[in-house]
């Protein structure tokens, strides 16, 4: 799915939400849709270990922290493992845009974090030599390493 298509999807999810008369606890929060769109605007930013700004580059937790700080004013802990303790545990079948998704990529739980966008897609800063990108969490690599998700209220 292209970056433009993903941005349109996230915007449509937000537009559909605002058109509802009644909402439930499972409805995506419009602020989280905005957060997802903001995250997409940083796609292509290079990876840098320990990086936490678009100018220096991002590692996974630096990217997530930057997005939450600049879109919601929310300060998160520095590492993926520490971030995994924030917010409420969310079942995979209830994921909404803006939820945090965690993976075991370094042979330890919660060693990688990304932001769920919807439709099985998440955005993250993957590693050395790469840049912030959107991927499908149903790909075998991610499916085998999935550790869970957390929802932070805006």
Please spell the DSSP secondary structure of 27-40, one letter per residue: SPPHHHHHHHHHHH
Concerning whether 60 is annotated as a catalytic residue, the answer is yes
Q: Which residue has the higher pLDDT, 20 or 63?
A: 63
pLDDT, tens digit, 9 for 90 and up, residues 39-77: 999 999 999 999 999 999 999 999 999 999 999 999 999
CA distance 104 to 111: 5
Query: What is the percent of the chain where pLDDT is above 90?
Result: 80
pLDDT of 35 above 60:
yes
Binning pLDDT at 50, 70 and 90, where does residue 1 land? low
Q: Residue 27: what pLDDT?
A: 72
pLDDT, tens digit, 9 for 90 and up, residues 87-114: 999 999 999 999 999 999 999 999 999 9
Concerning whether 107 is annotated as a catalytic residue, the answer is no
Q: Residue 154: what pLDDT?
A: 83
- In the chain, what are the domain boundaries? 3-20+31-151
Concerning whether 124 is annotated as a catalytic residue, the answer is yes
Q: Residue 28: what pLDDT?
A: 73
Query: Residue 94 to residues 63, 121, 132, 144: CA-CA distances in angstroms?
Result: 23, 14, 24, 19
Catalytic residue among 12, 70, 107, 112: 112
Catalytic residue among 12, 16, 22, 60: 60
**What phi-psi label fits residue 150: left (phi over 0), alpha (psi between -120 and 50 degrees) or beta?**
beta
Q: Residue 3: what pLDDT?
A: 53
The dotted CATH code for 3-20+31-151 is: 3.90.1720.10
Q: Residue 56: what pLDDT?
A: 96
CA distance 59 to 93: 27
């Amino acid at each position: 799915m292209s970056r433009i298509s993903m941005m349109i999807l996230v915007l449509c999810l937000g537009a559909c939400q605002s058109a509802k008369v009644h909402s439930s606890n499972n409805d995506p929060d419009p602020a989280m849709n905005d957060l997802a769109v903001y995250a997409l605007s940083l796609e292509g930013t290079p990876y840098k270990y320990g990086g936490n700004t678009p100018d220096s580059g991002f590692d996974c937790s630096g990217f997530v922290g930057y997005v939450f700080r600049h879109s919601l004013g929310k300060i998160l802990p520095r590492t993926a493992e520490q971030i995994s303790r924030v917010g409420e545990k969310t079942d995979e079948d209830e994921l909404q845009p803006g939820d945090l998704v965690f993976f075991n990529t370094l042979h330890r739980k919660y060693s990688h974090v990304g932001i769920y966008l919807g439709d099985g897609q998440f955005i993250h800063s993957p590693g050395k030599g790469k840049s912030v990108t959107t991927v499908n969490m149903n790909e075998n690599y991610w499916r085998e390493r999935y550790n869970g998700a957390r929802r932070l209220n805006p």
